[in-house]
C-alpha cells in the first residue's frame, strides 16, 4: 500500500480549477511539484504562456545505461458543459466507491496514482535508471504543453512511456495520429442578382469538399487501428443571401494509422485541392508499439491479474501527449494505461472508481519494479 493515498490526492487535484480554456495550471503543477520534491525528485517548471505550467520531475542516477521510465499525464480539464451537474464538479465528493468531479477520470486520478507509486519507490529509484514524471498543461486544446516541452528541448531521455489517460486499467498499445488543417477558397464579390459578375468562393469550396469526400488514402488497413478517417468539421462562408461570397473556409480532421506518411499525405491533399489555401495547424503521427514488444509483453503480464485475463492488442480512440513526447523519446515503447473510465471522459457528473485507482497504483509500482530490477 502506498504511503501517499492516491484517492485523497485525486480529490485534492480536482479542487484545482484547471478548466481549459483558460487552464491556469500553475497552482496545481506546483502542488504536485512540492510533493515530488519532498520525496527527492529534481523539479523543473516550464510555462508555454503565463500560468500555463507543466512540470518535469526526475529521479535516478542519470548515468545508467538504461534510460528512465516516463509517466505522463495532463492536469488541465475540459469545461463542464451546458448540462447541470448533480455533484459539485470541484469538491471531489465521494459516493460509495466513486469520486465525482471534472478531471476525476480524465485524468487527475491517473496522475495521483503514478505520483503515489513514484514517491513510494523513490528510495529505490534514486540509485538506478530512475523515473521521469512529465505532467503537462494545455493537453485538451492541441496538446500545447507537451508540444512546448518537446519543441524547446526540455525533455532528456526515457526508455518507455506510460500515459495515464483513462483506460479502466486496460493497456492500450497506441492510438491514431492526426492532421488538422484549414482550407480557404477566395472569389470575387458581386450583387446576388448578378452572380455572373462575381466568382463564388462557396461553390469552389463545394468542389473541394466533394474531392475530399472521394479521397482514397490508399494504405493497407491496420490490423488493430483499421482505416484512416477524414472529417470536414467546420464550414464558414458568405455574409448575406444577396451577395456572391468571396471567401469560404473549412476545417478538416484526418486521423491516421501506422503506414501513412504524413508528408506525402499532405502533399497529395494540397495537389487535390488545387488553388485552395491550405494551413496545416496540427500534425502528429500515430503512436504504436508492437504488441509483441518485450516491454509491452511485460506490461500485459503485470495487468493480467487485475483484468482477470491476458490483454489483447487494442488502441485508444483519443489522442495523447505521447505523440509529442515521442519526438524526443523516439522509439520508446508506449502504453496508454490509467484508472479512469474512458466513457466518463468529458461527461457531465464525471467520476472515477477508487478501486481502480488502488489497482493502478499497484500496476504502476509493478512497472517501476520491473524497470529498475
Ligand atoms: Zn485526457
140: CA distance to ligand 1 center in Å?
A: 7
Catalytic residue among 25, 76, 120, 359: 76
78: CA distance to ligand 1 center in Å?
A: 9
Residue 2, pLDDT > 70, answer: no
Residue 127, pLDDT > 70, answer: yes
Average pLDDT over residues 346-367: 98
Identify the three-state secondary structure at position 237. strand
114: CA distance to ligand 1 center in Å?
A: 15
Catalytic residue among 139, 144, 165, 341: 139
H helices then E strands: how many in the chain?
Answer: 10, 15
354: CA distance to ligand 1 center in Å?
A: 18
Summarised one tens digit per residue, pLDDT across range 245-298 is 999 999 999 999 999 999 999 999 999 999 999 999 999 999 999 999 999 999
Average pLDDT over residues 82-100: 97
Average pLDDT over residues 176-194: 97
22: CA distance to ligand 1 center in Å?
A: 16
Residue 216 is a catalytic residue: no
Q: What is the distance between the terminal CA atoms of the chain, rounded to a whole angstrom? A: 20
Total-model pTM: 0.94
| CB-proximal residues (5 Å) to ion ligand 1 | 106-107, 165
Summarised one tens digit per residue, pLDDT across range 41-76 is 999 999 999 999 999 999 998 788 999 999 999 999
Residue 139 is a catalytic residue: yes
Summarised one tens digit per residue, pLDDT across range 293-335 is 999 999 999 999 999 999 999 999 999 999 999 999 999 999 9
State residue 1's pLDDT score.
45
226: CA distance to ligand 1 center in Å?
A: 22
3: CA distance to ligand 1 center in Å?
A: 26
Rg (CA), the chain: 23
Summarised one tens digit per residue, pLDDT across range 10-50 is 999 999 999 999 999 999 999 999 999 999 999 999 999 99
Q: Contacts from 120-125 at CB under 8 Å and sequence distance 24+?
A: 120/2, 120/3, 120/4, 120/361, 120/365, 121/365, 121/368, 121/369, 121/372, 122/39, 122/40, 122/41, 122/59, 123/40, 124/368, 124/369, 124/372, 125/59, 125/60, 125/368, 125/372
Query: In terms of Cα–Cα distance, which of 34, 32, 46 is closest to 75?
Result: 32
322: CA distance to ligand 1 center in Å?
A: 11
- List b or e across 179-208, with b for residues whose CB sees 16 or more CB atoms inside 10 angstroms: bbbebbbbbebbeeeeeeebbbbbebbeeb
Which single residue is written with the C-alpha cell 500545447?
144
Local structure of residue 274 (DSSP, 8 states): T
Amino acid at each position: 500500500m502506498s504511503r501517499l493515498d492516491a484517492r485523497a490526492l485525486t480529490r485534492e487535484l480536482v479542487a484545482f480549477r484547471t478548466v481549459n480554456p483558460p487552464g491556469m495550471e500553475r497552482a496545481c503543477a506546483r502542488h504536485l511539484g512540492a510533493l515530488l520534491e519532498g520525496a527527492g525528485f529534481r523539479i523543473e517548471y516550464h510555462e508555454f504562456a503565463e500560468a500555463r505550467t507543466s512540470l518535469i520531475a526526475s529521479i535516478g542516477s542519470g548515468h545508467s545505461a538504461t534510460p528512465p521510465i516516463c509517466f505522463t499525464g495532463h492536469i488541465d480539464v475540459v469545461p463542464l458543459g451546458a448540462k447541470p451537474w448533480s455533484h459539485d464538479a470541484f469538491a471531489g465528493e465521494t459516493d460509495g466507491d466513486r469520486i465525482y468531479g471534472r478531471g476525476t477520470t480524465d485524468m487527475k486520478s491517473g496522475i495521483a496514482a503514478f505520483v503515489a507509486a513514484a514517491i513510494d519507490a523513490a528510495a529505490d529509484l534514486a540509485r538506478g535508471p530512475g523515473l521521469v514524471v512529465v505532467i503537462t498543461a494545455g493537453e485538451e486544446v492541441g496538446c500545447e504543453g507537451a508540444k512546448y516541452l518537446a519543441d524547446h528541448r526540455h525533455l532528456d531521455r526515457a526508455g518507455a512511456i506510460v500515459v495515464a489517460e483513462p483506460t479502466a486499467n486496460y493497456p492500450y498499445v497506441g492510438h491514431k495520429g492526426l492532421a488538422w488543417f484549414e482550407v480557404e477558397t477566395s472569389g470575387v464579390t458581386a450583387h446576388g442578382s448578378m452572380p455572373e459578375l462575381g466568382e463564388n468562393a462557396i461553390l469552389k469550396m463545394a468542389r473541394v469538399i466533394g474531392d475530399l469526400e472521394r479521397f482514397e488514402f490508399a494504405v493497407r488497413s491496420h490490423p488493430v487501428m483499421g482505416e484512416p478517417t477524414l472529417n470536414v468539421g467546420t464550414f464558414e462562408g458568405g455574409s448575406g443571401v444577396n451577395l456572391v461570397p468571396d471567401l469560404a473556409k473549412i476545417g478538416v480532421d484526418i486521423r491516421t494509422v501506422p503506414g501513412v506518411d504524413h508528408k506525402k499525405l499532405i502533399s497529395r491533399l494540397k495537389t487535390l485541392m488545387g488553388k485552395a489555401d491550405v494551413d496545416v495547424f496540427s500534425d502528429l503521427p500515430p503512436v504504436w508499439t508492437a504488441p509483441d514488444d518485450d516491454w509491452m509483453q511485460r506490461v500485459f503480464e503485470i495487468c493480467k491479474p487485475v483484468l482477470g485475463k491476458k490483454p489483447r492488442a487494442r488502441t485508444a480512440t483519443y489522442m495523447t501527449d505521447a505523440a509529442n513526447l515521442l519526438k524526443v523519446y523516439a522509439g520508446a515503447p508506449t502504453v496508454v494505461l490509467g484508472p479512469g473510465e474512458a466513457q466518463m471522459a468529458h461527461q457531465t457528473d464525471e467520476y472515477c472508481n477508487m478501486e481502480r485507482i488502488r489497482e493502478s497504483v499497484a500496476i504502476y509500482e509493478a512497472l517501476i519494479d520491473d524497470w529498475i530490477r
